Structure formats: structure tokens, C-alpha cells
Structure 1
Amino acid sequence: MTPQTTLEDRRASARDALERCQALVEPALKEAVGTLHPWPRRMAGYALGWCEADGSPAATAGGKGIRPALAVLGAEAAGAPEEAAVAAAVAVELVHTFTLVHDDIMDGDERRRHRDSAWKAFGTGPAVLAGDALFALAAETLARGGGARSGAAVGLLAAALRELVHGQADDLLFEDRPWTGPEAVTLPEYLAMAAGKTGSLLGCALALGPVLAGAHPPVVLALTEAGRLLGTAFQAVDDVLGTWGDPRATGKPVHGDLFRKKKTLPVLAALSASTPDSRELAALLSSPAPLTEATAHRAATLMERTGARTATLTQARTLIAAACDHLTSAPLAPGAADELMGLSEYLLARYV
């Protein structure tokens, strides 16, 4: 992307990349899911956005396919063959969907992508089973389709999942920490958690195809670090949407993270401002009473007045710029590297 590239150019390039990668990956993804037992297969199809709970075709579109697209583009950037790109992308999307199913259970989120989350539609036990099936299928996909380097690829995926679990554990433990004082969650702690919970899988997505193709370690490292930074930026943007996002775009209630009193980057940024607004916000969040629509709206207003939304998006831009620096510093195929940077910028271009 040149400095003269417009915002709409970046959006169009990212949409083209997403559509191309989806057309390449979705047939193999559906073939893999088709090998599951019929019951978890239907739940997996629901979680992936292919069908409704009764098995009929989905009325709404599924996810945006960012992670499998990153896997394909990362593979292409390192000169990996198409079969390696597809195997990596299928495994990553299966794992991502598994984490969403289980994450909704842990967070008690009843809505995802404009409809009931998987546990709400099928029950907690069945949704756990479907998530387990997706995880097992991801490992099998790499083991069977990775060729001579499948062991290294499965190891990379397992390491990313271990880091993801570490980040998720920290995120859950943050819920019991106070909002203010010496035991409060700090911004560096939160960013480290986000790098594990979200960044680890995106780093794995960019690196899996190159690992399968036997790419040089510096290339794998550059792609991994770019993905980790991109994932952390993705979490920052997601946090903004969790407070101020339009339900028509997010598929979740407005102020959803505030109603759950979730410690997110904008909340922590607002509390660190040490202003009357941040002190009022701390009092609202520290109260044992649940937030109402009025108090959640007030909390969002206080956060806005501290500059928390702007600060969070600025942090996301900084992380994306650092990710692009890693991409430009590595010997990658020029066309694929440009697509990767365009898709990275698209994460912000959708919202700002």
C-alpha cells in the first residue's frame, strides 16, 4: 500500500482478499466438518454461520473470515504451496470457532453474529462437545494435511493454544480484581493478556503455512510477531465495539461489556485518567448493583469524556503500524505482503 492509497482503496483491497481466500478455503473447511458425527456437525455448522439450529440454511452471514485469510496470505507471502495455505487456514478457522463457542460459555454471552450463541441455542453441554470436536478436527487437519512438516505445524498450533489459554485465564481472573488501587489491573497487564488471548492465534495463523512449507526461521518469526501485534490491535478494536458498537453491525447489545462490568482496554484507560469523570466511573463499576441502561450509558459517556475511546483506537493504530513494520522487514513476496498490510489496516478502516 502506498501513502496515497485511500481508505476506500484499502477497504476494497481487503474485501477482495477476504473473498478470494474464502473461495479457496471454504470447500475444504466444509469437507473437514462433514466428517464429524451428525450432531456436533450441525452445531459446528451453526457456529460457523452455515445453518440455523434446526439445520436449515442460515438466514444471516457467518464470520468475516479474517483468520483463514491471514493464514492464506501468510502462506503466500512465504511462497508456500496452495495445499499448505489451505490446510493452515482450515485448522486456524476450526480453532477460532472452537474458542468462540467456549468463550461465549465462559462469559455468559447469549448473542453472537445477530443470533443466539451456540450454548444458548443447543445447551451448555452440547456446545462444549461441539467446541471439543472442532479442536480435535483442527489438530487432525494439520496432522493429515501437513505433509513432512505436520509435526512442527501441530506443535506450533498447540503452543499458540497454550498461550491462548494463559491469556483467557488472566482475562477471567481480572474479573475478581478491584477497579482501583494497588491490586487493580494495569494497562500493560491487559495488553499482555490480549497478546495471549487474541494475538497468539493470529500469530499462529500467519506462521502456519510458512512452517508447513519449510520457510526460513526469520520469515516465520516476522510473520508470527506481526500476527501477535495484529491480534492485540484486533482486541483493542473489539473492546471499543463492546462499549460503543452499533448492535446492527456487532450482533451484540450496545454497552454489552459494561453491563458485564468487564475490564476492557477503554475502561482501564478511562480509569487511569485520574479525573473526576474517571472517579465517577470507578464508583459506578465498583457498586455491587448491576448497571442499568441509564447507568451503562452514563459510564460510556464518562469513558468518552476521558478520551478512552480515542486512546484505545490510537493504541490499535500503533500496534498495526508495528505489525506492518515486521512485514516490511522480512523477505516476503511483494504482492502478498501488500495484501496482508491492507487487511491489517482494514481492521481499523471498518470502524474509523
Structure 2
Amino acid sequence: MTTAPDAGVGQAARTALRRSRTVMDPALREWVARLPEPVARVASYHFGWTDAAGRPSDASGGKALRPALVLVSAEAVGGLAADAVAPAVAVELVHNFSLLHDDILDGDTTRRHRPTAWTVFGSPAALLAGDALLVHAGRVLCHEAAEPRTVMGLRWLMEATTQLIEGEQADIGFEERDRVTLAECLAMTERKTASLLGCSCALGALWGGGDEARVEALRRFGTHLGMAFQLADDLLGIWGDPAVTGKPAGADLAVRKKSLPVVAALDSGTPAGRRLAERYAKPPGERDSAPDPEEVAALAGLVEEAGGRAWAEEAAGEELRLALESLESARPEGPAGEELAALARLAARRDH
């Protein structure tokens, strides 16, 4: 796993995340409460606010990285976080739309240390809740006074969402193919993960009053951060600690997911890569059944032996370097620059 950020960086990032959630949460809860009651109940459970029976809960609602990027990016160009709450809520709604759908598409039964929404309420209810969050994201931005930034921001958010969906479709399609190139996998990652993170930073800078150059520099920052984030996520999907991640060990390997470390290993041309390809090319019937822990450990060992783990860790470090370079070119103001840098380091070197 990539080296963990030092205590100072981790503390700065956690402070930014907590502060951003404090600013955003009241508005997020208000918008979710506007949904029809059955849909709001599923969404509230998914966000960790209630249990399956609708009683208040203090379960984890996730890191809320995307809204934090919106709010701190607004401050980085001289604006106020409070003025960028609408786009912060919007990106969090889009992100959680994707999570509700992803859990169904991937068959994941656990998220944030408790059963996923579809396993509790059924797939139709979870799908509809995700759809409602996506529609709500547009409503949040349109609720503001009509002005050029509203139209532009809505267009950016819908473009990023379309890319997210395209990336998800490509990811699903990879499961049916015996061979996927590393270039294809990187392009899928940029669409599925990095586009929304880049959009989050751009929206924050736009609402903060940044000029075009600073907005685009922060968009690049968020895009590179997103690539590093997904590389770290893929590493955790194989070698993460279930007690920390809230997901089963080796979950990606169990379903033969072609994540970035796996594709790098398969593309390595090494004996270990060829052995990994043989084990990944199982008939569909077997592929649907999760292997035993020994099989998962064997697959993880082959990925590492073929260089997939080392490549992913190095690539995450390079994306972090590019992110920080882009951040510097945005000329961030005040402590916001340090906070954005800390968030980038945390995303690239996280353990959950």
C-alpha cells in the first residue's frame, strides 16, 4: 500500500472534511427531506442518518470528499464556503446516486460497515432512490437565482455525470472481456471517478468567483486527485483491511474485477501475469461464485508478483505530483491551498 500521509497532513485533511460537512450537511438533509417519504427513507439509510426502520442512527455517511473539494476550492480563489453550498450538495447527491446504483450492479452487500441499501429495501427501491438523488442534484443548482454561473455549473455537472455513467458502462463491459489494455482502464477511470472530482473543484472555483485560468487549474487538480483516489481505491479493493474499509477482503478479486493493479499485472508480459490471466479466464458460471480465501490470497499474490501493486502505487504517486503541480498554478489563497494539498495526499495514500 502507498505510504500513509504524515500526522500533520492527515489532521489538516480531516479538519477540512469535518468543517465542510458541518457547512453542507444541513442543506443536504433538507433536500433529501423533500423527496417522497419512501424514497427519502432509503436515501436517509444510505447516508447513515437512520437505520432500516427509520430510527435516527449515527452510522458513517462517508468522507464527503467531493463537497469538501467544492467548498475549499471556493475559498482558494477568494470566495466563501457558505456561498458554494449548492454545488457542494449537488455533487454529493450525484456521487451517492452512483453509489446506490454501483452496489446493485456490483452485487456489493456491505458499505460503510453495514448492509447496502438494496439488500435492505430491495433493488427497485434503491434504484429509484439513486434516480431521485440525481434529479435532485439538478434541482439544487436550478433553485438558485438564474444567472450565467448556474447554467454553466449545471452543464458541467451533467457532463461529468454522463462521463461517470460512460465509465461505469465501460467497467461493466470489461468483465465480459478476456483482455483489457491499461490505456482503456485508465480512460475508464478518468470518466468514472476523476471527472466528478475535477468538476467539484471547478464548481467551487466558479462559485468562489475565480477567473477562467484558476477554475481550469483547479479542475486539473481535481482530475489528477481523482485518478490517484481510484488507484488507492483499487489497491484497497485487493489489500485493504476489511475492519477499516468496511468491505470483504479481496472483494474485487473475488468477482474477477479488472481493476487497475490487475490490468497492469495482466499487461505485464510476466510469467505471473500469464498465470493470473489463466485464473481470471474462468467460465461465467464459476466467475459468479466467490473463491475461497486461499484463492483470493493466491490471486493477490500473482498481481503483486507481476508488478501490478508496485505499478499502481507508483502511478498514484505520479498523479498526486501532477495534482499538486496544478494546485500551485491555481495560486490558492490563504489556508485553503494547504487544505486542498492535504486532501490530495489523503486521497492518494488513504487506508479506507
TM-score by length of 2: 0.93
User: Which aligned pairs between 1:186-201 and structure 2 lie closer than 5 A?
Assistant: 186-201=181-196
Q: Which residue is 1:141 aligned to?
A: 140
Q: Distance in 2 between matches of 1:321 and 1:338?
A: 15
Query: Higher RCO, 1 or 2 (CA under 8 Å, sep at least 6)?
Result: 2
Deviations 1:167-218 (A, max 9, x none): 111111111111xxxxx21111111110100001101111112223442111
Q: Which residue is 2:247 aligned to?
A: 252
- Tell me how far 1:307 sits from its aligned partner: 2.8
- Tell me how far 1:219 sits from its aligned partner: 1.2
- Tell me how far 1:27 sits from its aligned partner: 1.1
Q: Distance in 2 between matches of 1:209 and 1:11?
A: 22
- Unpaired segments ≥5 residues, structure 2: none
- Unpaired segments ≥5 residues, structure 1: 1-5, 179-183
Equivalent pair of 1:265/1:312 in contact (CA under 8 Å): yes
Q: Which residue is 1:294 aligned to?
A: 294
What is the one-letter code of the residue matched to 2:294? A
Q: Which residue is 1:308 aligned to?
A: 308
User: Which aligned pairs between 1:325-336 and structure 2 lie closer than 5 A?
Assistant: 325-336=325-336
- Tell me how far 1:105 sits from its aligned partner: 1.3
Deviations 1:100-134 (A, max 9, x none): 00111111111111111111111111111101111
Q: Distance in 1 between matches of 2:9 and 2:78?
A: 23
Q: Which moved more, 1:133-142 or 1:206-215?
A: 206-215
How many residues are paired up? 342
Deviations 1:289-321 (A, max 9, x none): 343322221111111222321221111111011
User: Which aligned pairs between 1:20-169 and structure 2 lie closer than 5 A?
Assistant: 20-145=19-144, 148=147, 149-169=149-169
Equivalent pair of 1:76/1:85 in contact (CA under 8 Å): no
Q: What is the Cα-based RMSD across aligned positions, in Å?
A: 1.6
Q: Distance in 2 between matches of 1:317 and 1:50?
A: 35
Deviations 1:321-345 (A, max 9, x none): 1011111012321421121011100
Q: Distance in 1 between matches of 2:293 and 2:303?
A: 15
Q: Distance in 1 between matches of 2:251 and 2:81?
A: 40
Q: Which residue is 2:273 aligned to?
A: 278
User: Which aligned pairs between 1:312-327 and structure 2 lie closer than 5 A?
Assistant: 312-327=312-327
Q: Which residue is 1:181 aligned to?
A: none
Q: Distance in 1 between matches of 2:247 and 2:349?
A: 20
What is the one-letter code of the residue matched to 1:224? R
Identity %: 43
- Tell me how far 1:145 sits from its aligned partner: 2.8
Q: Distance in 1 between matches of 2:127 and 2:351?
A: 32
Equivalent pair of 1:11/1:349 in contact (CA under 8 Å): no
What is the one-letter code of the residue matched to 2:298? R
Q: Which residue is 1:222 aligned to?
A: 217
Q: Distance in 1 between matches of 2:48 and 2:310?
A: 32
Give 3-state SS (helix, strand or coil) of 1:296's partner: helix
What is the one-letter code of the residue matched to 2:328? T
What is the one-letter code of the residue matched to 2:182? L
- Tell me how far 1:46 sits from its aligned partner: 1.1
- Tell me how far 1:224 sits from its aligned partner: 1.1
Equivalent pair of 1:147/1:212 in contact (CA under 8 Å): no
Equivalent pair of 2:78/2:209 in contact (CA under 8 Å): no
Equivalent pair of 1:87/1:146 in contact (CA under 8 Å): no
Q: Distance in 2 between matches of 1:59 and 1:208?
A: 29
Equivalent pair of 1:7/1:349 in contact (CA under 8 Å): no
1:267 aligns with 2:267: no
Q: Distance in 1 between matches of 2:331 and 2:58?
A: 43
What is the one-letter code of the residue matched to 2:100? V
